[in-house]
Structure 1
C-alpha cells in the first residue's frame, strides 16, 4: 500500500481535534513504542528482563513518548536509566518512569562539566537499547553544544540498538558534524510518515523508519509526497485484460539511438518491448532500426497512433526529433524526454505554451544533466555537486520552473511534480549504476505511461463518454513513473550490466503478469 508523507504541521493539525476530545494519543504512541523496543530487545538478547535501556530525554512530547515507553519496559524487567538533558522534561512521563523504578541522571547545559558526564557515558555504553527523545519536529538544526559533545564522546556498542522517537533529534542535512549526531538504527514515528524522514540525505540518521497508526488519518490531499515499494508494483502492475488487444494494451513510440550511439536505441526499444506492451514503434535512424528489427521483429517502424512517446536516449539526430514533434500535433499523449532531448526544455522554440504544454512531460536527467538544464533556465551556473547535495530540493525546483514532472536519477530516485509533490520509489541495487541503465529505464517509463494512457482511453470509450476526458493530475502520472522505476529496480537485482538488465525486464514483467509476484527477484 502506498505510504504518504506529510509535513509535520499537517500531523500536528490532525492531532488537535483528537487531543481536545480526550483521545489518549500519547498513550497509544508510547504503548506502540514499548512493544517495538521489547521486540527488538528480544530479537537481540532473547528476553526483555535484565536488559538495560537508556532514555535521552528532552523537553517535549517525544520525550514523554520515550519515558512512558521506558516505564512499560521497566515493568517487563528492563533496567532503565533516564538522562534529562535540559532543565525540564515531560513531567508526567518522568514521574511514570520513576514510579516504575527508573534511575534519573540530570545533565543540563549548566552542569555539562560536572561528574555526571562520566556516569552518563557509562550508562550509554552499557545500554542494550537507547531511546532518542531529545528534540521533536521543532528542533532541526543541530543539537545544543553540551549534548553534541556528549554524543561525540560516546562510542555505542556494535550490538546496541538506537531508536529515534518520532523523528531523530537532528536531521540537519549538513555533511559536517556527523560524528556528534545520533545515527539511529530505527525511527518509530507516529500518526503518519513525516516528510522530512523521506529526504535521501537523512537516511543515515533515521535508519529504518516505522510508521505507527494512532488514529490521526490525515487527508491524502495534504501529503507532500509518497513512498512506493515492490508491494505497490505487484498490486498495480497493468496486466492484460482477457478482452484486450494490442491497441488497448498501449502503443509506445521510441525515438532513441543514433548512428553514433546505436546501442541506446536497442536498449530503450527492447526494454519497452519487454514490459509486455501492445506495440512498440521505432521512429529513429534506419541504421538503428535494422539492429532493433534484428532482435524484435514485432517492432513497427512506420508512424501511426501512439499512447506515449520516448525521445532522447542516445542523442537521436535532429531530423528525427523534428518528425517526432510533428507527429505529436493534435495529441495530448505523454512524452518522456531523456538525454539529448532534454535540450528541448527551456529553449525559445519549445518553452511551456507550445507542444510541451499540451501533455504530461517527464524529464529523466541525472545530476549532471539537471545541472545543465537549470543553468540554462536560470542563467547561472548550477553544478552537479549542488544537485546531489539536495536532490529533492533541486528536483522540485526544476519541476516548478519547467512545468514538467522531473525524475532525478541516482541511488535514491526522486520524482517531483510542478506543485512540489514528490514520489520516492524504494532504492534499487548498486548494479544499476552502469552504462545504458538509463536507456532501459526510459523505455520502461514510456511503456508504462502508454499502457495506463491506453487503459484510460479504453475505459472512456466503453463508457461512451461524450465530454473530453479530464486530464490526469501530475501526481498520478508521477505515481505511474514510480512504478516504472520499481520494475527497473527489480530487474537490477537479476542483472550486472545493461545487456542483462534489459533481458531481466521481461522476466520481471512475466512474473508480474503470470504469477502476480516478483518471483525470485
Structure 2
C-alpha cells in the first residue's frame, strides 16, 4: 500500500527519528537520494549543468547538499538564492565542492532543481520565484519533496506553482503526490526511504500486491452460485451499447454468474454477444444506470429494493436524492458529482478530494470519483487513489465497463470500499495493457481484465 501522510504526521515522525540520529544525518540521506535522482535524469555528470533554485526552508538545504554531491561528481552547479536566509551548512558544502552562487541563470542548465518552498509552505509562489522559473522555462525540472506552490495536504493548486518532470520525496508520500491536480504537477514521483515510523494514513493507493491480496479467488470446491451472482440493469433502446459494455465488465470471470434485466430487444443483443449471461433471478449485487435513459429511476428503485450491494452509475445518479445503504457505490465523473452536490464542475475538478469526501458523507456510502487519478472515498473520510490507467482510457463506454467490474467484485464478496478500489485499479491496469501505448475502445478494456488479473503477483 502506498500511504500519503499529512505534513504534521511527517514532522512528528521526523522529530522522533532525529532524536536517534546524528545532527544533519536526515538531510544528508535526503540529499544523496535527490542527487542520484538528478544524475539519473542527466544520464552523465561531466559537462552537465544544474541550476538550484533555493528558498529558506529545509528543501533549500536538501537542494544545496545535493548540489554539493553533484559538484563532486563533476557537474557544474549554480545556486540561485531566492531568500536572504538559506541553509548555512548546505551553502558552505556547495561552495566547498566548487558550486557557485548566482543571481540569474547564466547559462541554460540541463536540469533545474526546485528547492524554493517546502512542505510547510503556503500555496503559491512569490514574484521573484515566478520570474526565476520563467527564465528556465522548458528545462527539465526536479522538485524537492513537492513542487513548490502546491497545497501538500489537499492536492489542490489554488495559486501559481511549479510543474515538475520528477519529484523526489522523502520518508513517505504526501497527499499532493497522489491527488490531482497537484499530483499532475509532480510528474514522476521517486521516494527516498528515510526510515520514518509513521501512523496509518487516511489517503492511500493500492499496489499490485494489495490487489492480489484483496481479489476474491475461487476455492478448490467452488461452484457458480458460491462465487456470486451479479445483476445488470443497464442500457435501453436508445443506448443498447451501455448494456453490452456493462455486462462485458461484469462477465470478465470475477464472479460466478451474470444476469441481465432490461428491454427485450436489448436483452437479445446482450445474450447474442454474451451467451453465458442469463435472465432475471436472485443476485448478490446489482449494477444500475449506464445508458438507462428514462427508465433509470425505476431500475434504481428496483435494485435498491433487493437490499443487496448496488453500483449506481450514469443516468441513475440523477435519481439519488438522499442517504443510501452503506453497501452502495456511486460512480460519478466530475460533472455528475457537481450536479449531485449543487456546485459547478470546475469546483470539483479543482478540489476533488474535498468533494469526494463531502459526497461520501452526504450519501453515507462509498463514492468513486472518476478522473486521471480516480478517488474512492468512504463516509468516514478514508480515500484510495487509483494510479493505474492511461490517457487513452478517456473514451466512451469505459465507465460502463468499470461499473460492471465493480458489481462483479461486490457479488464475489468484497466490501463496497474494496470492490470500488480494486475494480478501479484493475480497470486502469487492463486499459494500460490493452492500449500498449496507443488508442483503445471500451470493449478492449473489458476483454483485457483477465490478463490484468493474471499479471498480479501471487498473494
* TM-score normalised according to structure 2 size: 0.89
What does residue range 350-365 of structure 1 map to in structure 2 within 5 Å?
351-352=322-323, 356-357=324-325, 359-365=326-332
- For residues 175-227 of structure 1, the C-alpha deviation after alignment (integer angstroms, 9 at most, x for no partner) is 775xxx533211100010011222311244322111111100312x2x13122
* DSSP 3-state at the match of 2:146: coil
Q: Partner of 1:450 in structure 2? A: 411
Task: Return the match for 2:389 from 411, 422, 428.
Answer: 428
- Distance change (3 Å), C-alpha of 1:511 and 1:420: closer
- Distance change (3 Å), C-alpha of 1:475 and 1:311: closer
* DSSP 3-state at the match of 1:247: coil
CA drift at 1:59: 1.2
CA drift at 1:243: 2.8
Is 1:155–2:147 an aligned residue pair? no
CA distance in 1, matches of 2:306, 2:184: 47
Q: Cα RMSD between the aligned structures?
A: 2.6
Q: Partner of 1:139 in structure 2? A: 121
* DSSP 3-state at the match of 1:130: strand
CA distance in 1, matches of 2:252, 2:426: 12
- For residues 475-516 of structure 1, the C-alpha deviation after alignment (integer angstroms, 9 at most, x for no partner) is 545433433433553465269565xx3254233314634x65
Is 1:368–2:365 an aligned residue pair? no
What does residue range 118-267 of structure 1 map to in structure 2 within 5 Å?
120-123=104-107, 125=108, 127-152=109-134, 154-156=135-137, 160-171=139-150, 173=156, 177=160, 181-219=161-199, 221=200, 223-228=201-206, 233=211, 237-267=215-245
Is 1:8–2:18 an aligned residue pair? no
Is 1:56–2:53 an aligned residue pair? yes
* DSSP 3-state at the match of 2:3: strand
Q: Partner of 2:424 in structure 1? A: 482
Is 1:67–2:26 an aligned residue pair? no
Q: Is 2:245–2:443's contact at 8 Å kept on the other side of the alignment?
A: yes
Is 1:272–2:271 an aligned residue pair? no
CA drift at 1:10: 0.9
What does residue range 290-439 of structure 1 map to in structure 2 within 5 Å?
290-304=268-282, 306-315=283-292, 317=295, 318-328=297-307, 333-346=308-321, 351-352=322-323, 356-357=324-325, 359-375=326-342, 382-426=343-387, 428-439=389-400
Task: Return the match for 2:435 from 465, 471, 493.
Answer: 493
Q: Is 2:329–2:366's contact at 8 Å kept on the other side of the alignment?
A: yes
CA distance in 1, matches of 2:350, 2:58: 31
CA distance in 1, matches of 2:146, 2:314: 38
Task: Return the match for 2:447 from 506, 513, 519.
Answer: 506
* DSSP 3-state at the match of 2:168: strand
CA distance in 2, matches of 1:145, 1:338: 45
CA distance in 2, matches of 1:27, 1:420: 36
CA drift at 1:236: 5.3
CA distance in 2, matches of 1:496, 1:143: 37
Q: Is 2:368–2:377's contact at 8 Å kept on the other side of the alignment?
A: yes
- Distance change (3 Å), C-alpha of 1:337 and 1:484: farther
CA distance in 2, matches of 1:516, 1:175: 38
CA distance in 2, matches of 1:504, 1:144: 45
* TM-score normalised according to structure 1 size: 0.79
- Distance change (3 Å), C-alpha of 1:492 and 1:342: farther
- For residues 382-420 of structure 1, the C-alpha deviation after alignment (integer angstroms, 9 at most, x for no partner) is 222322233222222211211121112233322222222
Which protein is richer in helix relative to its size? Answer: 1
CA drift at 1:320: 4.2
Structure 1 stretches lacking a partner, 5+ long:
106-115, 376-381, 454-471
Which of the two has higher C-alpha Rg? 1
CA distance in 1, matches of 2:388, 2:425: 12
CA distance in 2, matches of 1:147, 1:497: 41
CA drift at 1:451: 2.1
- Runs (4+) of structure 1 moved beyond 6 Å? none
Q: Partner of 2:36 in structure 1? A: 35
Q: Is 1:413–1:427's contact at 8 Å kept on the other side of the alignment?
A: no
Q: Partner of 2:79 in structure 1? A: 82
